[in-house]
Chain A
Amino acid sequence: MTERDGLAAATRAAGLRLTAADLEALRPAWKRYLALVEELRATLAPETLSE
């Protein structure tokens, strides 16, 4: 799945109605968001789960 297809699927799942132009407009913000969250995830160790 391409990044664009992934974004389209995510917006549909979220109930957003986006045109192709809307998707293109959203893409840079989405990419930046994913990169920043990845940094955050890498910094915070996962919480330990025990059964």
Chain B
Amino acid sequence: MKAPLASLTAAPLAQVAQALRRRAVSPVELVDAYQERIERTANLRAFITPPGQRARREAQRAKQQLARHGAGALLGVPIAIKDLYATRGVRTTAGSRILRDWVPSADAVLVTRLRAAGAVLFGKTNLHEFAYGVTTANPWWGVARNPRDVRRSPGGSSGGSAIAVVAGLCAAALGSDTGGSIRIPASLCGCVGLKPTYGTLPLDGAVPLGWSLDHAGPLTRTVEDAGILFDALSGGRAWRQAQRVATRGLRVGLLHDSIVRPLQPGVSNQLEKAAAALRRHGLRVRDVRLPEMGWTVVTQLVTLRAEASAAHAQWIRARPRAYGPDVRIRLQLGALVAGADYVLAQRMRAKITQAVRGVFDDVDILLLPTTPITAPMVGERTVRWRTGAEPVDGALVRLTAPFNLTGVPALSIPYGEVSGLPVGLQVVGRWNDEARVLAVGRLIEALASR
């Protein structure tokens, strides 16, 4: 019996993969259904290079493999790729004008792994130029729009990937995260985003931004999907392990420091509701303090400005006008960072890392909002708090960047809404403890739907 295609385009990856295995739907039918939706939602600017005929040919091949009961956890599943990852024979722009005509001769390692798992590579998604910003207001490829409210920003830099997941334009997507670029758009658009432990997923063939901060990871409709895709990308078994984790009795820390204030009242309410629900399910929730995290902003700023400027050292000097104004200023500022300042930032980073490691002696998981605000309007630059003003981009990375600096795994999960806009909560775990992060994430996801 054929599965209804309209419902499958909005279905989780796990369900799509199962329908393909049962041959309730063919990969070609699925690709056509997503493609039709992509055409109807072009105003969202989710894609720089939409899937096209190449994806359809890949779907044909997957159909034949499925008929022969071929192997591959993602056989025939359409996965969108942030246009930061090199794709053999397919233009890879990094959201820039500089790379607008670059057609790589080889795939990024993670793209190779997706192909090996049988995935259909399903277009290249829009991003903030060179992933260096959190709005995906791309000056060359279009201002991306939040599918929940097109007047609002989807966040970034993996904005196109989050849009594609939430608007039902693919089964799941690959993103990257240097200061929150997976988790922020996941939070603002209403999907799941996983930034795994630093170094777990190789970045060979991805256009770099900050070598010590860059992480790859999935954006998906469910926590289960994030686990499945993470295992396919890493070759590990975190999701299988997560299913055996007993969450009852786990110790959950709620941060009570200046960095988590201010919050939009609605976001704060959702956090409190989630904490209360976890308590009712037998988890031990307590307040913890990490005052060192107050130094995140300057530490991340100096580290990223210097590292990004190093990655762009030639182009920013030779072709400054080939960058959009916001990215150009960030890169020019980075060229002025003194070596001594970078060392200062690394000394503070070591203190923050040590403090985060220490807090995990007392708790198993940290729970905090992913972003202190829901999706801002496109072009909005300042958040007005009772205590003063904060730049929107600063507010958006305030709660995500600490975990790029420290490298520990962090997962964003939708938890309710405020005025029709999704709220994202963030589950953070010990280094390499994706299994527990995913297990608690799945519990929170289940509690959110009750």
Which residues of A approach B to under 8 Å, CB–CB? 10-11, 14-18, 22, 25-26, 29-30, 33, 36-37, 39-41, 43-44
Contact = CB atoms under 8 A, between A and B. Distances in A.
Contact of A43 (B295, B301, B325): B295
A14 B335 contact: yes
B332 A11 contact: yes
B1 interface: no
Interface string B309-333: 0000000110010000100011011
Nearest to B302: A37
Instruction: For the complex of A and B, list the 4 residue pairs with the smallest distance between their C-beta atoms, beginning with the closest.
Output: A36-B298, A14-B335, A29-B333, A15-B317
B336 A40 contact: no
B329 A25 contact: yes
Name the prevailing secondary structure of the A interface residues. Answer: helix
Contacts of A43: 295, 348
Contact of A16 (B297, B317, B337): B317
A25 B325 contact: yes
B344 interface: yes
A37 B317 contact: no
Nearest to A47: B347
A14 B329 CA distance: 14
A17 B315 CA distance: 12
B336 A39 contact: no
B348 A44 contact: yes
Given A25-B329, A26-B332, A36-B302, 8 more contacts: A11-B332, A11-B335, A15-B317, A15-B335, A17-B320, A33-B301, A33-B302, A40-B348
A2 to B, nearest CB: 16
Given A15-B317, A26-B333, A29-B333, A36 B348 contact: no
B332 A16 contact: yes
Interface residues of B, number: 23
Contacts of A18: 320, 332
16 contacts: A11-B335, A15-B317, A16-B335, A17-B320, A25-B329, A26-B329, A29-B329, A30-B333, A30-B336, A33-B301, A36-B298, A37-B341, A40-B298, A40-B345, A40-B348, A43-B295
B334 to A, nearest CB: 9
Given A17-B320, A41-B344, A33 B335 contact: no
A13 B325 CA distance: 22
Interface string B337-359: 10001001101100000000000
A44 B347 contact: yes
A14 B317 CA distance: 9
B305 interface: yes
A10 B338 CA distance: 10
Contacts of A15: 317, 335
A36 B297 contact: yes
A25 to B, nearest CB: 6
Nearest to B345: A40
Nearest to B309: A14
Contacts of B329: 25-26, 29
Contacts of A40: 295, 298-299, 302, 341, 344-345, 348
A41 B338 CA distance: 13
A5 B147 CA distance: 46
Interface in B344-377: 344-345, 347-348
A25 B330 CA distance: 11
A15 B302 CA distance: 19
A16 B316 contact: yes
A44 B292 CA distance: 12
A16 B305 CA distance: 15
A22 B302 CA distance: 21
A38 to B, nearest CB: 10
A36 B301 contact: yes
A33 B320 contact: no
A6 B275 CA distance: 51
Nearest to B330: A29
A27 B295 CA distance: 23
